[in-house]
Amino acid sequence: MKIHFAALVLALLMPACADIDDEAPNAVLTSPFEPFPEAATVQLFIDTSGTSSLRDAIAAGPVATLTDAQRTELGASFTIITDHGVGEAAACFIPHHFFRYTGADGELIGDVSVCFSCGGNEVSPGPDLPNGSWIQEDITRIEALVASMDHPTEIEYQ
């Protein structure tokens, strides 16, 4: 009987001990992430063709070149999340808004695609992130930024 009682006491204490460690491997960590800080220019492209294609958006031309203040706001909208548990994935990811980052000589540095429907993003080329990490955007903040530039955030096709 003493063995069963000891096993019961150990079983009851083990979960409590496991909850004490704040540095557990499943802890969620966040760090700021600014896409392509070396870029000289950031331009907004919007695909209104219905294809959800960066190529079609670029063919139509940029709708805006971001000011320094707008670029700071955009850059502050991204965070790297490291969570060795279960991550999230975008539901649809059909982006219509593209931020293109270029250097002083006009060379392409990278693109950020944003889908306001599902709240997903894609950074290309993507940074080298540790396993269990992803880039999370503040979609409400980016949507407000685009709207403040008098550009649509919802794209409807006929």
| pLDDT, tens only, 81-119 | 988 666 566 578 889 999 999 999 999 999 999 999 888
Of the two residues 133 and 37, the one the predictor is more confident about is: 37
Over the stretch 34-67, which tens digit does the pLDDT of each residue have?
Answer: 999 999 999 999 998 878 888 899 899 999 999 9
State residue 118's pLDDT score.
Answer: 87
State residue 15's pLDDT score.
Answer: 37
Over the stretch 59-75, which tens digit does the pLDDT of each residue have?
Answer: 999 999 999 999 999 99
Task: Average the pLDDT over each of 4-8, 28-32, 126-130 and give the range with the smallest value.
Answer: 4-8
Torsion from C-alpha of 21, 26, 31, 33, nearest 10 degrees: 180
* Predicted structure pTM score: 0.78
State residue 17's pLDDT score.
Answer: 33
